[in-house]
Amino acid sequence: MEQIVGKSYEMTLKPWHGWISATAYKVALQLLPDTNTFISLLIANGENFDTLRDEIQALDSLLVPLLQSLHATLVSVHSNSLIL
């Protein structure tokens, strides 16, 4: 989990963070739970991993068109410097 979060941070936010924010990020990174703990926190009472997976897939199907629309908007206003 730490590697995924770290890579995401490096690609998205780090270029715009100063040393204070980058240091705060490093501290927050140490507070991440391990993957199994994180998944158990996401699963509602009485549900299982399959239900969680289905819910994540449903969310993904809603987010992808939204993110594609936002990307197209940025491209249309020539904000390519904001697109990673």
Contacts of residue 63, Cβ cutoff 8 Å, sequence gap at least 6: none
52 and 26, same structural domain?
no
Mean pLDDT of 15-25: 90
Q: Do 23 and 51 lie in a common domain?
A: no
Rank 21-25, 39-43, 56-60, 68-72 by mean pLDDT and report only the highest: 56-60
Q: Residue 44 — very low, low, confident or very high, per pLDDT cuts 50/70/90? A: confident
pTM of structure: 0.58
In a domain, 75, yes or no: yes
Number of domains in the chain: 2
Q: Give the number of other CB atoms < 10 A from CB of residue 37.
A: 11
Report whether pLDDT(24) > 60. yes
In a domain, 38, yes or no: no
Please indicate, yes or no, if residue 52 is contained in any of the structural domains.
Answer: yes
* Structural domain for 10, as ranges: 1-32
Tell me the Ramachandran region of residue 46: left when phi exceeds 0, alpha when psi lies from -120 to 50, beta otherwise.
left
Shared domain check, 82 and 50: yes
